[in-house]
Structure 1
Amino acid sequence: MRDEAALLVAEVYEAAGALRRLGERTAGTEGLTQARWQVMSAVSKDGLTVPQVARRLGVSRQNVQRVANDLVQLELAAFTANPDHRGSPLLALTESGGVALTRLTERAEATHRELFGDIPEDEIRATRTALRRLLTALDRHEDG
């Protein structure tokens, strides 16, 4: 079991790296980075504060602030008044940001269909289940 677990960890790292590179290439088709794409996705439904985005993505507030400022400068997002906290505005997509995110999402979905086309859906589901169990175990390990 230990050898299998070690091999799984190595393959998860390898897959994560390959998926990050693919995400950067996909984001690059819209002149963006994966970090910008992730922040845009986080605020795509409702405006969020920078700290809320940081918590959701598991990254530092400072990193999200930098990316948010870039998105505002590119006119893909805008800060709006937050009725719950005057000092912490909400970041929301602009119309052009929504269009760019839709194009990225469609491109990513097409790539996913291509990548996973030869893998039976039950295997994908089983892999997701195992990864969620691993993530739960990792959360418990970090907390304790």
Structure 2
Amino acid sequence: MADEMALLVADVYEAAGALRRLGERTARAEGLTQARWQLLSVVSETALTVPQAARRLGVSRQNVQRLANDLVACGHAAYMPNPDHRGSPRLELTVHGRDALARVTARASVEHAAVFAALPAPEVARARALLRLLLSELDRHDGTPPPSAR
């Protein structure tokens, strides 16, 4: 069992790397980086402060601040006043940012459909269920609240 667990972890890292490379190529085709794409996506439903976005993405506030400034500089996002905290404005997508996000998301859908076409849907669902279970166990192990409580 220990060998299988180690191999599963290695496979997950390998798959994550391959998906990251695909994401970078997809984002680059639309003039973005994957990191900018992720930040556009995370603030697409509701404007967030940089610290809120960093928590959602699981990365440092400093990294998100740099990305947010880049998105504002290229017109994809704007800082809006935050009535709850004057010193921490909310990052909001502009029309230009929403258009960029829609284009890269559409391109990603085509890419994902091509990749997943060779995989049986029931197997994909089982793999996803197993990964969700693994994530729950990892969260429980390190004391992280479940996603519904975050």
Range class of TM-score, shorter chain: over 0.9
Q: Is residue 142 from structure 1 mapped to residue 149 from structure 2 by the alignment?
A: no
| CA RMSD, 1 decimal | 1.1
The CA deviation at 1:137 is 1.3
Instruction: Give a deviation string over 1:99-129, Cα, whole Å, max 9, x none.
Output: 0000000000111111111212111111011
Runs of 4+ in 1 over 4 A off after TM superposition: none
How far did 1:84 drift? 1.6
Q: What corresponds to 1:44 in structure 2? A: 44
Aligned counterpart, 2:77 = 77
Paired letter, 1:54? A
Unaligned runs of 5+ in 1: none
1:45 CA displacement: 1.1
Q: In the aligned structure 2, how far is the partner of 1:11 from the partner of 1:24?
A: 20
Moved more, 81-90 or 66-75: 81-90
CA drift at 1:17: 0.5
State the partner residue of 1:12.
12
For these two proteins, the number of residue pairs brought into alignment is 144
Name structure 2 gaps, 5 residues minimum: 145-150
TM-score by length of 2: 0.92
1:2 is matched with: 2
**TM-score of the two chains, using structure 1 as the length reference:** 0.96
1:60 is aligned to: 60
- Aligned counterparts of 2:86 and 2:7: Cα–Cα separation in 1: 50
Deviation at residue 60 of structure 1 after TM alignment: 0.5
Identity %: 64
SS of 1:87's equivalent in the other structure is coil
Residue 34 (1) aligns with residue 13 (2): no
Match of 1:117 in 2: 117
